[in-house]
Amino acid sequence: MCTGKCSMCIGITLYPLALISIICNIILFFPGWDVKYAQKGQITEEVKKLGGLVGGGVMVLIPAVHIHMTGKHGCCANRCGMFLSIILSAVGVAGAIYSFIVALSGLLNGPYCDVGNDYWTTPFKNEKADYLKDRALWEKCTEPKNVVKFNSGLFSILLLVSLLQIILCGIQMINGLFGCLCGTCRDKDKPRQTNITVTSAVNVSL
């Protein structure tokens, strides 16, 4: 596949992934679908680190725009555009890695919740038991409602999305390197089509 077309495919694919990452991070601020917890600051610590919003969102969205636009300039774009896409893709990889680490930490530590008598803590942090496998442990969190399921589901999505972003941005770094070294490639069919048209016109006139 031409490096330009590859860039366009990667850029277009990164758009929804970045959007999903941003939406998931925003939703995580409203456990139990209630705004009162965000107002009181009773939010899981990993949510406040904005891994999905900044890392998997903004830091991936900016490279995605450039990668997509680079693919539009001719078949393989230009050496300068491809070189810049390598740098921006590295930024995207860094952002996606940050989102991945935050999401993984959020899954391992578990949610910040009320365990009774208005005592808020992270009950599953540093525990030997795997709360993700033992759903009976989820009852420790009395508030927000279904917060364990809520957090684990969204953090799992962020984990998967960030992994895909790392792979795609990594591919673009390699693709950009080829585009930078090989330069632009033009559509070679156009001159041939022109020659055929001219030849046909001459034959008709004769």
Which of 73, 76, 46, 80 has its CA nearest to residue 159? 46
Q: Report whether 4 contacts 76 (CB < 8 A).
A: yes
pTM of this structure: 0.84
Number of domains the chain is built from: 1
**pLDDT value for 3:** 75
Cβ-based neighbours of 173, under 8 Å, separated by 6 or more: 86, 89, 90, 93
Whether the CB-CB separation of 31 and 154 falls below 8 Å is answered with: no
Average confidence (pLDDT) per 10 residues, the chain, 206 residues: 79 96 96 92 94 96 89 62 89 97 95 93 86 90 94 96 96 86 54 46 48
The pLDDT, as a whole number, for residue 108 is 93
Helix (H) or strand (E) holding 19: helix 3-27
Strands annotated E in the chain:
113-114, 120-121
d(CA 110, CA 152): 8
What are the two backbone dihedrals, phi and then psi, of residue 114, each rounded to the nearest 5 degrees?
A: -90, 120
pLDDT at 129: 73
In this prediction, residue 19 carries a pLDDT of: 97
Range of the domain at 189: 3-205
- Which tokens hold the place of 131? 């709360």
Per-residue confidence (pLDDT) for residue 190, from 0 to 100: 47
Q: What distance in Å separates the CA atoms of residue 107 and residue 128, rounded to the nearest whole number?
A: 14
DSSP collapsed to 3 states, 26-46:
HHCCCHHHCCHHHHHCCCCHH
Cα gap 32→110, rounded to integer Å: 15
pLDDT for 68? 86
Q: Which of 7, 149, 1, 198 is nearest to 89 (CA)?
A: 7
Q: How does 74-93 read in b/e, with b if 16+ C-beta sit within 10 Å?
A: eebbbeebbebbbebbbebb
Q: What was the pLDDT predicted at 1?
A: 54
